[in-house]
Amino acid sequence: MDKTVAIELKGITKTFGEVIANNNVDLTAYRGEVLSILGENGSGKTTLMNMIAGIYFPDEGEIRIDGEIVSIRSPKDAFDHRIGMIHQHFKLVDVFSAADNILLGEKYKGFDVKEEKQRLLDAFAEENAAFEAYKPEEHTGILSYMFAPKFHDEKEIKRKLSAVPLKKFTNRMKFGWLSRGRAKSLQQIAKKYGFAIDLKKRIHDMSVSEKQTVEIIKVLYRNADILILDEPTAVLTPQEIDKLFGVLRKMREDGKCVIIITHKLNEVMEISDRVAVMRKGEHIATVNTADTNEQQLTEMMVGKKIELNINRTEPQEPTDRLVVEHVSAISREGVKILDDVCFEARSGEILGIAGIAGSGQRELLESIAGLQKLNGGDIWYFDPSNDNEKVDLRSKTPLQIRNLGVRLSFVPEDRLGMGLVGNMDLIDNMMLRSYRHTITLKPEDGEVKEAEDCEDKLDTKIKLKRGLTKLGRGIASGAVKIWSSVFLDRKSPKTLAETIVQDLEVVTPSTHTPVRRLSGGNVQKVLVGREIAAAPTVLMAAYPVRGLDINSSYTIYNLLNAQKEKGVAVIYVGEDLDVLIELCDRIMVICGGKVTGIVDGRTAQKEQLGLMMLGRVCETEPQETLKEGVGDDKD
């Protein structure tokens, strides 16, 4: 390749305590190319890039920019070397306008007084020399007067030189002043790369894609010519991704070096010139995109051949399990977050929910789980253990819902902030769901005991039985009840934790390890395992594979599929449209808290979903088959 090297990493090693994040990584990026860094979560992609962007400092190794060894100790150093990084989580001030965010932190580029003086002296000397060499007789008329060089006498030079420090001061004052037309000059940069964005808009009024654009302009404004984008497409719709890729191509033509961190293969194939594959902190290889294919890249990324198929079965006798009717909710800020949402989740079926992040997916699931106050609408649950009796779930607390015998499991988006307690160990986290009842079910014999679990009468009997074995014979039932309700039972959660660790191959030093120390995939396995162990009839999962590596993701898909085959109504909120189309039986798209349509997963098109995510309402599929099914059940 005859391109010039922009940045070169040699032998970079970085460790966090015992964990080796990067081990002896060599990497080269050229100007005028898009380099993808491909790797699973935890393979050290972001750490490596953070070292270039000045967030971490490498333990060993060197970074060369344009052939020169540099030391990047802070993001400011990185900017000085014209490196700009766009992080996955945007770093913008919400209440500022886009333009102000871009200008924020800009350094005043002062000049050295001595150098400036020298420059002026040289300029005067030059002009004086020109004056001496000037011969007025060579020119004629008024022109000879107009274009004659001026002579600067010593007094004038002295005066001008002594004004230099003052000039520096006034420049500085001017810099500290925000001019009214500041957005205009910035708009030029936006125009150059074809961004359609109003820079006077405030960040909190912007969509995710717009925020990303602001980040990119910010980096460009600072003259960065090495751009690093950390998972830029994770939150965008297909249409927005196309737009972003257009911008990246333009930058490439402009001679900039663009580095994209990603784990999505199709994007790698589409945009990049070369791909660097990372695995477990090591750089496996860098290949030209043209010479490779997705299968080969996956193998390099995972280190072994894997089958990436989701086995979607036909739903068995779907019946309505959960019906949501005209649900509306208003957030604390008074914004409508759910607007007249209607849908039904059926047993033995996976219902996918697609939408741009923050369109109300979380609120929807939380309102079903009893965590979100509703302003209108109804939520009905049809109890399969009780001849599909209609149960009202509206405005119930999670505890009330559970006491009604509704077996609703919920894998929330925020795993460590809501689903689990990071500082507690596996056993205590298993207890979260079950500590009140002292009985925990094992995943495999879940079905045997599920009938017992939901009924309160039997529950007390089980309590009594356990209490009796503990306390010995002859103790009154009342005493036993108090005993079992005051103290914790850590034995059955321990068995459950051990079963989950074994069955789902959770990598953990022991069941006494705080879950926050596990990796993302293992945390998720623990959470999903616990929720499935409760033998649910409705299983809701919000972004269950976010941040998971390919293997763990497929483990989760398979678990969801297994639940579906058991007859559970699964609701899956996802962000990867390819997966949604592959996994779900039906896909509901929401935009701004409104349902824009429900489509069949088997026939859905990615572009169609993308448009619906942006708010285009789509015809809902006819639902005759279903209504018949419900009618049959009631007979």
Q: Of the candidates 86, 611, 22, which has an alpha carbon nearest to the alpha carbon of residue 354?
A: 611
By CB under 8 A, residue 459 contacts other proteins: no
The separation between the first and the last C-alpha atoms of the chain, rounded to the nearest angstrom, is: 73
Q: Which of 9, 43, 56, 247 binds other proteins (CB under 8 A)?
A: 56
**Cα gap 477→463, rounded to integer Å:** 10
Site for other proteins in 3-32 (CB under 8 A): 16-18
By CB under 8 A, residue 245 contacts other proteins: no
The amino acid occupying position 100 is: D
User: Residues 621, 360, 233, 77: what is their CA dihedral angle, to the nearest 10 degrees?
Assistant: 180
By CB under 8 A, residue 420 contacts other proteins: yes
With vertex at residue 562, the alpha carbon angle to CA 560 and CA 565, rounded to the nearest 5 degrees, is: 110
Using CB under 8 A, count the residues that bind other proteins. Answer: 44
By CB under 8 A, residue 303 contacts other proteins: no
Strand, helix or coil at 415?
A: helix
By CB under 8 A, residue 399 contacts other proteins: yes
Strand, helix or coil at 351?
A: strand
5 vs 421 by CB, closer to other proteins: 421
CA distances from 169 to 105, 109, 385 (A): 19, 12, 80
By CB under 8 A, residue 39 contacts other proteins: no
By CB under 8 A, residue 435 contacts other proteins: yes
By CB under 8 A, residue 313 contacts other proteins: no
By CB under 8 A, residue 150 contacts other proteins: no
By CB under 8 A, residue 616 contacts other proteins: no
**Cα gap 257→294, rounded to integer Å:** 23
**Cα gap 340→338, rounded to integer Å:** 7
Stretch that binds other proteins, among 247-255, 322-330, 384-392, 395-403 (CB under 8 A): 395-403
By CB under 8 A, residue 78 contacts other proteins: no
By CB under 8 A, residue 494 contacts other proteins: no
**Cα gap 206→196, rounded to integer Å:** 13
By CB under 8 A, residue 73 contacts other proteins: yes
Q: Which of 421, 458, 464, 579 binds other proteins (CB under 8 A)?
A: 421
Q: Which of 100, 225, 363, 428 binds other proteins (CB under 8 A)?
A: 428
Q: Cβ 376 to other proteins, closest distance in Å? A: 22
What are the tokens at 144?
């000879």
**Cα gap 111→68, rounded to integer Å:** 25
45 vs 402 by CB, closer to other proteins: 402
Site for other proteins in 192-221 (CB under 8 A): none
By CB under 8 A, residue 334 contacts other proteins: no
CA distances from 126 to 122, 123, 163, 280, 376 (A): 6, 5, 20, 62, 81
Q: Cβ 50 to other proteins, closest distance in Å? A: 10
By CB under 8 A, residue 507 contacts other proteins: no
Q: Which of 161, 424, 462, 468 binds other proteins (CB under 8 A)?
A: 424
Q: Of the candidates 341, 329, 345, which has an alpha carbon nearest to the alpha carbon of residue 381?
A: 345
What are the tokens at 501?
């660790």
3-class SS letters over 152-211: CCHHHHHHHHHCHHHHHHHHHHHHCCCCCCHHHHHHHHHHHCCCCCCCCCEHHHCCHHHH
By CB under 8 A, residue 488 contacts other proteins: yes
What are the tokens at 609?
């979903």
Stretch that binds other proteins, among 180-188, 274-282, 379-387, 419-427 (CB under 8 A): 419-427
Q: Cβ 471 to other proteins, closest distance in Å? A: 16
Q: Quickly list DSSP for 292-333.
A: --HHHHHHHHHSS-------PPPPSS--EEEEEEEEEEE-TT
By CB under 8 A, residue 395 contacts other proteins: no
Q: Which of 352, 355, 412, 547 binds other proteins (CB under 8 A)?
A: 412
Stretch that binds other proteins, among 114-122, 199-207, 414-422, 564-572 (CB under 8 A): 414-422
52 vs 599 by CB, closer to other proteins: 52
**Cα gap 509→233, rounded to integer Å:** 34
By CB under 8 A, residue 71 contacts other proteins: yes
Stretch that binds other proteins, among 62-70, 139-147, 178-186, 286-294 (CB under 8 A): 62-70
- Which residue ranges make up the site for other proteins (CB under 8 A)? 16-18, 56-57, 59-60, 62, 69-71, 73, 369-371, 397-402, 410, 412, 414, 416-424, 428, 431-433, 435-436, 485-488, 517
